[in-house]
Every structure is written in structure tokens, then in C-alpha cells.
Structure 1
Amino acid sequence: MDSYFKNKVVIITGGSFGIGQATAMAFARLGATITIADLQENSQTMDAIKAMGGQVLFSPCDVSQSKDVKAMVYQTMDKFGRLDFAFNNAGIEGKTQTIADSSEDDSSEENFDKTTAINLKGIWLCMKYQLPHMINAGKGAIVNCSSVAGKIGFPGAAAYVASKHGVLGLTKTAALENAQRGIRINAVCPGVIKTPMIDRVTGKNKEAEHQYESLEPMNRMGLPQEIAQAVVWLCSEEASFVTGHAMDVDGGWLAG
């Protein structure tokens, strides 16, 4: 697998922190060239990749904005001349609120629109601009980030759950559209992963963290690096006959 990624180019949205950061590091260790697209640049991520001898480009990007996504893909092509892989990972959790309670909240519609725009429309926009370059090359692999919430419901998280279910629909459709073009498109469905997002949800409160851990049959949170390894595998030659698949990386959560 090591030589397969050498000098290949991968775009990672939401790549500055958390799962995206871990995935950027994993690809870089295998010799890949990285474009990190995010709202905020993380110098630690950039410096760590450069310290490995890797090439990395930061592209400021709001994935809900077509102009940003288009610019991010074209910057990658202009600088590196190719696009082999993409991990469309950028996402937000949105506000927690039941659907009924949202009737009394004037900001609830804005929350729904923002959450679905980033989590769902953002992935559609990314594939919209990534795929033509892969089609021209006759090969490529894309992994979209869904969630266990893309397969089951969670009370109080309607926008998030709807968006992550939608990611799986987009992934399956795009996989079928491109199956004969040498391009594979899959999704990962993380469980509870120790990231800045889960820290925001729990407020780093130990009792709240334990409650989330108790949902996992393994009785612990996953690590960003464990999602990263799944993404790398889905992009690798070992997964050459895998497309349209939603891979659970959830500590057994959905097995129950």
C-alpha cells in the first residue's frame, strides 16, 4: 500500500482538525500530496506534513459555497496537476433540539439550513467539482463522511441525522454513476470519536463523556486515527472492488 499513494494527490475537507487532520497525516505518511480545505488553517497540521517531507496546500473553503469548493479543486489542479483521491469530511453537528420544540425557536430554520448546507450540499458540491477531473483521468476514489447517524435516528438531532442519511444516498448514487469510469465512491460512518466536535457536544464534561462511551459496545470512544485508516483503505488497491459501500467504524454500535 505504501508505494501506491506516493506522489498521488488527495483533497481532504475539514482537514485542519479531528478526523480530517488524522486522515491528512495518514495519507502524508504514505507519500501522498495533500490539499487541506477548511475554514481555519492549523499550522501544526501543515508543519507536521512538511516535516515528513510531504507537499501540502491549504485552501480556505466553506464547503456550502460553490465558489469556494470550485476554487479549492482548481487550486489543487493548478498546483499539483492531478487529483487522485478525496475525503469529503467537513461537517457540523448543528443545534440540538426536538422538531416540536423548534416551532418556538425562530432560529431553528436557519440551523436546519446551515447544517444540511454544510453536511449534505457540501458533499454534493465537492463531488460536483472533483469528479470531472477524475473522469478525465479515468480513475480515482472518493470517501464521504457520514455517521452512525446516517443509519439510525437520534432524538433532538433532526438536521444532523437527515444530512448524514442524505450523504449515504449521494454516495450510492455517485458510485453507480461512475462505476464504469474507474472511480470508486464510498462512505465511512464513524461512531463516537474523540474529536473537537464531541468535545463541543459534551463540553468536556467527564460524566457526559462516559454517557457517550457507554453507547459503544467497546466502552470507549474511537480515535480519529481509526477513521483515517478506514479512509485510506477505501482509497487503496485493496478496496478495488468496493464501491457504494457505507463502512461502519463505530466500535460495534450498529451491531446491536
Structure 2
Amino acid sequence: MSAVLVAGSDGGIGRACVAAIETAGTSAHGVDLSDGVDITAPGQVEQALAEATARHGRITGVVHAVGMSGRFLGDGGVAECTDEAWHEVHRVNHESVFRLLRAALPALPEGGSIVVIGSALGTSVDDDFRTVAYASAKGALIQLIRTAAREAAPRGVRVNLISAGLVATPMSLRARTSASVKARMPALMPLGAAPCLPEEVAQAVLWLLSPSSGRTTGAVIPVDGGWHLR
């Protein structure tokens, strides 16, 4: 038996990933803060991997779908962002990926795959999405996954990142209902001019977990409706 560990399985994208993985015939071992598993805390990723391995026999893939917006803590422009927002957003969106990679890279077998959910804001700047802590944390993930991919490649383990655009999840509700954002959707995401569905992101994740992407590592795959074309 084998399985894929999905961190953040109760979130919009994480839940869709679990469904896609199981529909494809592979077991998904979901963990989330709501279940008492906080992968942002020391030792929690290692514990989650150990429990998943004990239950399923072998873990061949890992998905990081944990994330947070820091608006409620004061994330905003550089001159506005609070210390609390900066530290907490980086801890959850950036540091937790480091903790997951550090634990998972040596644990996965040859052919293993790690997929991290990033954001189009990691490589773009937009006045309607001016959140320096969030954007910088997501931007830092690109070099983090590239470094991990280079280290893991000799062992046949792959690490990739999905650069997601605006996705229809509870976390993006404020942005999706903003009059300014709604009016600009044809320019922000010209391919469909609407937020992506979590299921669309999950299908890209599924491909990166599969042998079909066996020669792809260290890549940033956009699932953003054309956001990156601006």
C-alpha cells in the first residue's frame, strides 16, 4: 500500500486534492490544524509522516496546501504591515514549507513527489492585492522548492510548485467579492475571466504527483487563468 500525505486537507484546495487523489485510486492521508496537527510547529511534520507511514505502509507523495491571509493581522503595504502579520504569515506560508521539505525529502522513496501550493502574487504586484507579507512569503517558496529539487534529484525525488491565481476558496472570499477585483477579472485572469476552481488546481497537483511528470522538478506551474501573462 502507498499514500499521499496532504497537509491542509480541510482547506478549499487541500480538500480538492484529497478528492482527486482518492478518485485516481491512491489513498490520501489528510492532516489539518482542525484535526490537531499543526505542521507549522516543530516536530509535527515528522509525526504526521510517521503516522501516515504506519497506517498506509509507504508515503510516495506529499502536498503542502497550508496557507493563510494576514489581512486581519495587519498585512498590507510595506509601510503598513505590522510585525505580527509579517511574522505569522511567514511562519505559516513559508516556514511550514521548509519544515515539510526537511522532513519529507529523506523520507520519500525514489519516484516520490512533493507539490507545494504557491501563489501568483509570489511573482507579481497588484494594487488590489497589496499584502507584502503574503506576497514575499509566496515568492520565497520559489527558491526554496528549487533548492530542495536540486538536492533531491539524485535520489529520484521531485519537488514542484503550483502558482495559483485567484481560487474560489473561503480564504479568497474578500478578494473575490471586491467590486474592484470583480470589474478587473477579464484583465487579471483573461482565460475564463473568473476565479479558478479548487478542483482545477487539484488536477495539476495530481499530474505532478504522477509518473507522467517524472521528468519535471523545480518547476513553477501556473494555474492562474493567465494572471502571469500581464
- The corresponding residue for 2:86 is 112
Runs of 4+ aligned structure 1 residues displaced above 6 Å come to none
Gaps of 5+ in 1: 1-6, 42-59, 103-107
- The corresponding residue for 1:63 is 39
- For residues 80-104 of structure 1, give each alpha carbon's deviation from its aligned partner in whole angstroms, at most 9, with x where no partner exists: 22110011110111124222124xx
Deviation at 1:236, TM superposition (A): 1.1
1:80 counterpart = 2:56: yes
- Relative to the length of structure 1, the TM-score reads 0.82
Gaps of 5+ in 2: none
Distance 2:180 2:55 in 1: 44
Q: Give the RMSD, CA atoms, in angstroms.
A: 1.7
Q: Paired residues, what number?
A: 223
Given that residues 192 and 213 in structure 1 are in contact (C-alpha distance below 8 angstroms), is that contact kept between their aligned partners in structure 2? Answer: no
Distance 2:90 2:65 in 1: 14
Deviation at 1:208, TM superposition (A): 5.4
- The corresponding residue for 1:29 is 23
- The corresponding residue for 1:247 is 221
What secondary structure, in the 3-state scheme, does the structure 2 residue paired with 1:133 have?
coil
What secondary structure, in the 3-state scheme, does the structure 2 residue paired with 1:187 have?
strand
Report percent identity of matched pairs.
28
- The corresponding residue for 2:160 is 186
Deviation at 1:206, TM superposition (A): 6.4
Matches within 5 A, 1:121-200: 121-134=95-108, 137-155=109-127, 156-199=130-173
- Relative to the length of structure 2, the TM-score reads 0.91
Given that residues 2 and 57 in structure 2 are in contact (C-alpha distance below 8 angstroms), is that contact kept between their aligned partners in structure 1? Answer: no
Alpha-carbon spacing, 1:112–1:229, altered in 2? closer, same or farther (3 Å)? same
Given that residues 63 and 126 in structure 1 are in contact (C-alpha distance below 8 angstroms), is that contact kept between their aligned partners in structure 2? Answer: yes
Given that residues 188 and 246 in structure 1 are in contact (C-alpha distance below 8 angstroms), is that contact kept between their aligned partners in structure 2? Answer: yes
Distance 1:10 1:141 in 2: 9
- For residues 198-234 of structure 1, give each alpha carbon's deviation from its aligned partner in whole angstroms, at most 9, with x where no partner exists: 11x24x7463562463421121111000000000001
- For residues 127-179 of structure 1, give each alpha carbon's deviation from its aligned partner in whole angstroms, at most 9, with x where no partner exists: 11111211xx3330001111101211345311101110111111100001111
- The corresponding residue for 2:182 is 210
Deviation at 1:68, TM superposition (A): 1.8
